[in-house]
Amino acid sequence: MDHFKVNQKDIFFILKDQLEYGGLCKLDRYRALTEDALDLLVTEAIRFAKGVVAPLNEIGERQGVAFENGRVTCPDEFREVFQSYGRHGWTAAARDSEYGGQGFPHMMRIVINDFMYGACQSFNMAPSLTHGAAHLIESFGTEALKQAFVPRMYDGTFSGTMCLTEPEAGSNLAATQTMAYPEDGDHYRICGNKIFISWGEHDIADNIVHLILARIEGAPAGVKGISLFAVPKYRLNADGSPGEPNDVVCTGIEDKLGVHASPTAALTFGAKNKCIGYLCGEPNKGLAHMFQMMNSARINTGVSGMTLASIAYQNALAYARQRVQGADVAKRKTGSVPIIDHPDVRRMLLWMKAAVDGMRSMIYTAAFWEDLARESNDTETRKHYQALTDFMTPIVKAYCSDTGFRVCETAMQCLGGYGYCRDYPVEQCLRDAKIMSLYEGTNGIQSLDLMGRKMRINNGAPYHAFITKLMSFCDQYKDHKGVGSRVRALASACRAVQHMAEEMTARSESDPLQWASYTFPALLCFGELVMVWRLLDMARIAYGPSLQKGRKNDFFRGKVAQATFFSDITLSHTIERARTCMRDGREIVEIPDTAF
């Protein structure tokens, strides 16, 4: 079954008409590129995703992975595609050429992942994690460490992981117990256990390079004593090829609701006291270093939620157009009609269309800002866009993973009973999407970050940058002929959310329990503001062409319709939710444990 469906016109409308992403080629780092080159990369990524990666989805679901005697075996096709993925430059498309990168803008990594995750979520986790691990070494490792691992990770020879979670240290990394003992030379002896490690053991690459958090013997307690290490599954021979095993043992893999072809491993490091690791970066700075990969992973979690929602929506739309069932309630047609003619189905389809387009615009915009934060020549411009990127990261992760699952659920509803059956791909989208709200820091943790740290750091710079950017849009388009009334409604909702956020910030120290009990609904408020903003921005661009007569302009009419519909049904809820975040009722924090 061809589950992978993508509307290329939607993609390019956001990239070209809304973001004008070709403007990145004016930045010094990308002056050798043109917008045509970016367009070609997008087109080729879709082609590769559809022709090469997408077939793995059914194979992975049918065969899964097998664990026996400490080894995980994957479908044979996964190894072939993983190596092809690296050789063709997809893993390192946005990295510098020194270690095998292609030199494209950072945002193109997000755009590429949109298609690759949609084609096969289970598979694309492997090259995505590999990219993040290799880039960590590239950023913080010694030159010897870079030469040993990074080119081989980028070209698909080696893979990489992120090893944070332990049996007694899940989200609380301060409790990390894995130890690193200095040895002669440039290495350490590693001892400890890690769990829930995506792609922690497999046979699709020649070696696995684990980026692991551990404490050097004698290091301070808490997060201030955590260091980052590169720990290969196999030690390297003199020529860089994999040599003897490095005392890294997989003790089991998880039996999961979804992403069945992605092995989630429990790993033991140093059971025989022979595990060697290499310090990556400064001692006791491991958590700060790892946040580079963690923030990237959080964005990609949002990408996964969005693109699985997109796949579910596109399949629900195709089904609704061909499934004939029931009579037209307005008697416009005789006999049975395609279910897309039924108003309730159309309601679900329009909401999904708006949700997917809004999330995609949110994510692409945040990725575009990240490039401006990294590469702009002006220092103040970089600070401004870094603040925006910081504020958007927990919103992208939490809102898009949460809403992505809701879209998959709605798509299943569109298909009726068939949506619950494996004859159609929607049920897999639902199962695969659920993990997105759980890993890389649960969505509750993201809300604590947004309403806590992101409201306070640098005197609230991330929050103020966001509000300034949003209200600038509202001021500019409040009198727009087509969407001005909705823009004014967005401004009103923004003021309500501002009031809530500032009240909650004041409460965070005086009444932290009450504050923490409403941080997640507060994050949803911000997510909805961003969604309406991005949808209205697309609508005002499309408004002129949408007025022209002819079917060719239905695309633009759709952009206006999705924005006005989503705005009207969302902002009133946003305002009321903001009010509930400030309510005086203390049931959440005061109900006795025994009363639940």
Catalytic annotation, residues: 440
Ramachandran angles phi, psi of 548, nearest 5°: -70, 145
Identity of residue 308: L
Measured CA to CA in angstroms, residue 3 lies from 55, 57, 179, 314 at distances of 9, 9, 45, 9
Whether the CB-CB separation of 435 and 301 falls below 8 Å is answered with: no
Whether the CB-CB separation of 539 and 564 falls below 8 Å is answered with: yes
Ramachandran angles phi, psi of 430, nearest 5°: -60, -45
Closest to 292 measured CA to CA, from 473, 136, 510, 445: 136
Residues 6+ apart with CB under 8 A from 376: 27, 382, 385
Place of tokens 């649960």: 442
* Maximum distance among all Cα pairs of the chain, rounded to whole angstroms: 84
- What single string gives the DSSP state of each residue in 338-403? EGGGSHHHHHHHHHHHHHHHHHHHHHHHHHHHHHHHHH-SSHHHHHHHHHHHHHHHHHHHHHHHHH
- Tokens linked to 302: 């949002």
Q: Which residues pair with 228 in a beta bridge?
A: 213
Burial classification of residue 47, based on how many CB atoms lie within 10 Å of its CB (0-12 exposed, 13-18 middle, 19 or more buried): exposed
Q: If you ran DSSP here, which 8-state letter would residue 20 be given?
A: -
